Structure 1
Amino acid sequence: MIFRRLSTMAQTVPPLLSVLPTRAMVDEKIKVLVENLPAGSPVTLHSLLHSEDKDYWEAFAHYVSDQRGTVSVAEDLSYGGTYAGIEPMGLLWSMRPVPGSRKGLRLRKMDVRSPMPVNISVYSGHIAEGFREKPPLASVLTERWYMAPGVRRVDINERGVRGTLFIPPGPGPFPGLMDMWGGGGGLLEYRSALLASRGYVSLALEYFSPGELQTANLQFGYFETAFDIVKDHPQVIPDRVGIFGLSLGSIIALKLAAESTLIKPRCCVCVSGNNFFPRGSTITSMHEMMIKNAHKTRVDENDHHIWRDLSLPISSDLSEKVDARTINCPMLLVNGLDDQNTAAVEAADDVALMMHEAGKDHLLTRLHYPDTGHLIEPPYSPHFRATKFIVSSTKAKVILLWGGQTKPHSDAQEDSWRKILTFLQEHLYSSSSAKAKL
């Protein structure tokens, strides 16, 4: 293959860079195309995001234009960079903090009312650094949205429950979801905003502040009340409300599905959780029991903390865990085989065994992905192998190892999101009477 350098002498027509659509939802694909290049020209495509935390994230890939002078990211090979091969969305999922950034960063959208602006540029030659010092051949500013036009965002602070409700556009009524994140705490809205954009009234539930899990003496009733707030909303079909949880939120979802006598979730999606929840425990007392196992923490060569052994071995004592035999709604368990934060796969095996013993195999769907870590996010989100975390018992800041390898983890995020939406469609939009008039 002959490479030709771009020069002002040879290039009489400026390169044309297009990104379509320039405004899109975060779970939608974009097409990146460079035209008007000399044939056989080496170029570098680069994406850059300035986060709400004022950190810069980037991805880049090396391409060579074809005989027509074109590079299509959806069809052409990347010869190196933050990803290789044919990867239509590689400029997004392979993003990482720029060199010299703070350690342990995690990219999260906190204000869903504004987009994530991603600048995509094309440079002459194959380069791996100095992007901000070198003028690009062309650039396009794109917007990635979690919240679709017409979605309503409503603050919730009633009956002791805190959170944000997202309501799809249109007359409704719609199926509902209670959306719970994990042990990091705080109010995270971006997944709920995206779920509302896909047709579900979704409550992003806050149940303790960051680093305050040890003092968050929440009773089981808090989550039942939150579920009822969704169920009783006039825009919600009351018998079609599910639960979506990740990590600690997944454990709570399991517990509610198995043991609540007050609420009946239509279905549950549990991502990267386990089934450790001693009978009669509060969230705080359960956390205190985990602290007793702190001696099982391992530290890798990078001083990243590994917590997966804290919930091992899986107890055979039913009083120490969620009794999955009593679950009566469809369950989707989504786990990574390289989860270094919790024993999610072993716990899922145990849940599957209990449900099998109860003759409830038909209620259980499992997805498990190789080389995939704990933080399984919406598609095309960057992979976070290890990030900063505040340990609630000591207030110490550590870097937790979540696990996963970038390419397979990103593939898992794309595949699982598609299957999660299919699962929710099947169980929350399964009859004509329940379908909203979107």
Structure 2
Amino acid sequence: MSQTIPPILSVLPTRALVDEKFKVLVENLPAGSPVTLHSLHHSEDKDYWEAYAHYISDHRGTVSVAEDLSFGGTYTGIEPMGLLWSMRPVPGSRTGLRLRKMDVRSPMLVNISVYSGHIAEGFREQPPLASVLTERWYMAPGVRRIDIKEKGVRGTLFIPPGPGPFPGLMDMWGGGGGLLEYRSALLASRGYVSLALEYFSPGELQSADLEFKYFEAAFNIVKDHPQVIPDRVGLFGLSLGAVVTMCLAAESTITKPRCCVCVSGSHIFPRGETLSGIHKLMARNSHKARVDENNHHIWRDLNLPITSDLSMKVDVRRINCPMLLVNGHDDQNTPAVESAEDVAQMMHAAGNDHLLTRLHYPDTGHLIEPPYSPHFRATNFIMESTKAKDEMHQKHVILLKWNFSKET
């Protein structure tokens, strides 16, 4: 491509929250020119992620990612945010990678570049026509981040800017354990006091009673905070966190939560059992596990068919606050859709189906992340071994199908 006026690449805004859209525009191209838009991110784990798409400039010499078709690349069609959600590890990277932000006090840096021609590799070997560095934040300016270590509770509290008071949420992730803050930081950026709760350490809490007290103490830390509206505190859980959310709403003595949001979870949970009991249940049903053509482990059959034994399920009939179930039809980790149907039947029998809202997304898997997060089909999942002979525990690193719709 020969021209005297260099192309102009603009990305607006260059600094934004991760759930905000940006507009990518290339100008000053010759009409009808093939170009490739490319995004590159160097993760905190020191891995490179990229996306790219092929465009042809219009009669004005312009390419607008928000309005024009991508003819090839990591996505096709009109996808304004495709340069983010279709990012994948660069060729030659480690397998089973998952992109997630661990330090929310710094942004995700994504470099957007435009190249001459339609290319699919060698981006580092040739100079771009133009580049722009963008910042994608989970924590908005003014959000306060507070370490919580009180009443035996571990986590991080995020408080929105301003005087408050605000509605509150207790935010719980899944069985992988550890402390993940990015969802809570984003929720606080949108006006909710949110506690990212660290809660899962196998064998740590030896009785269901102790576990309930831990979660009740955490809920009360949010409810009793001076910048929280005490009767507007909800529960938010993903995967195992969704199980905890249902248990707390149905069985615990906490003040009635304002609402419950359960993402990719199930109500299959033996009464009086600890969270570790889920792993025991999985081990007992390990003969139902499958692998796909790539030897990725599929766990969804372990709890199928959904039992009719009420002692093996959270008694969701006792839930008396609004509950939202968000699930993907392609969840290979948990039978979330089948579980949601059984939850609906149980709540209907109790006359509480008016409290239930269900969202099901086609072609969507287990891990439903904040908007525009990169997709992946499988990821490494580390599970603590309890019995070396158990099939489910022979591998410390297993692969699960985790994919999700770009619209979620």
RMSD over aligned CA atoms reads: 1.2
* TM-score normalised by the chain length of structure 2: 0.96
Identity rate, percent:
80
Specify the alignment match of 2:35 in structure 1.
Answer: 43
* Letter of the structure 1 residue corresponding to residue 297 of structure 2: H
Q: Are the equivalent residues in 2 in contact too, given 1:303–1:399 (CA < 8 A)? A: no
**Among residues 49, 56, 74, which one is paired with 2:66 in the alignment?**
74
Between 284-293 and 199-208, report the one with greater CA deviation: 284-293
Q: Distance in 1 between matches of 2:302 and 2:5?
A: 61
Q: Distance in 2 between matches of 1:66 and 1:121?
A: 19
**Gapped runs of 5+ residues in structure 2?**
386-392
Question: What SS is found at the alignment partner of 1:213?
Answer: coil
Q: Distance in 1 between matches of 2:394 and 2:115?
A: 45
Q: Distance in 2 between matches of 1:248 and 1:216?
A: 15
* Letter of the structure 1 residue corresponding to residue 269 of structure 2: F
The yes-or-no answer on 1:55 pairing with 2:47 is yes
Q: Distance in 1 between matches of 2:205 and 2:74?
A: 40
The yes-or-no answer on 1:342 pairing with 2:334 is yes
CA-CA distance at 1:114 after TM superposition: 0.2
The yes-or-no answer on 1:213 pairing with 2:212 is no
CA-CA distance at 1:259 after TM superposition: 1.0
Question: What SS is found at the alignment partner of 2:327?
Answer: strand
Q: Distance in 1 between matches of 2:195 and 2:117?
A: 48
Aligned ranges 1:382-421 → 2 under 5 Å: 382-393=374-385, 394=393, 396-404=395-403, 409-411=405-407, 413=408
Q: Distance in 2 between matches of 1:188 and 1:344?
A: 22
Q: Distance in 1 between matches of 2:44 and 2:334?
A: 29
Between 257-266 and 104-113, report the one with greater CA deviation: 257-266
Question: Do the aligned partners of residues 215 and 226 (structure 1) sit closer, same or farther apart at CA in structure 2, a change above 3 Å counting?
Answer: closer
**Among residues 282, 291, 294, which one is paired with 1:290 in the alignment?**
282
Question: Do the aligned partners of residues 160 and 395 (structure 1) sit closer, same or farther apart at CA in structure 2, a change above 3 Å counting?
Answer: farther
Aligned ranges 1:317-332 → 2 under 5 Å: 317-332=309-324
Q: Are the equivalent residues in 2 in contact too, given 1:334–1:368 (CA < 8 A)? A: yes
Q: Are the equivalent residues in 2 in contact too, given 1:215–1:284 (CA < 8 A)? A: no
Q: Are the equivalent residues in 2 in contact too, given 1:341–1:400 (CA < 8 A)? A: no
Please list the CA deviations of residues 282-339 of structure 1 after superposition, one character each: whole Å capped at 9, or x if unmatched: 1122322222112211111111000101111211111110111111000000000000
* Letter of the structure 1 residue corresponding to residue 232 of structure 2: R
Q: Are the equivalent residues in 2 in contact too, given 1:20–1:31 (CA < 8 A)? A: yes
* TM-score normalised by the chain length of structure 1: 0.89
Question: Do the aligned partners of residues 180 and 267 (structure 1) sit closer, same or farther apart at CA in structure 2, a change above 3 Å counting?
Answer: same
Between 95-104 and 220-229, report the one with greater CA deviation: 220-229
The yes-or-no answer on 1:120 pairing with 2:119 is no
CA-CA distance at 1:160 after TM superposition: 0.5
Specify the alignment match of 2:268 in structure 1.
Answer: 276
CA-CA distance at 1:215 after TM superposition: 5.0
The yes-or-no answer on 1:351 pairing with 2:340 is no
Aligned ranges 1:34-433 → 2 under 5 Å: 34-208=26-200, 212-213=201-202, 217=206, 219-393=211-385, 394=393, 396-404=395-403, 409-411=405-407, 413=408
Q: Are the equivalent residues in 2 in contact too, given 1:272–1:342 (CA < 8 A)? A: yes
CA-CA distance at 1:396 after TM superposition: 3.0
Q: Distance in 2 between matches of 1:395 and 1:244?
A: 32
Q: Distance in 2 between matches of 1:223 and 1:396?
A: 30
Q: Distance in 1 between matches of 2:18 and 2:322?
A: 27
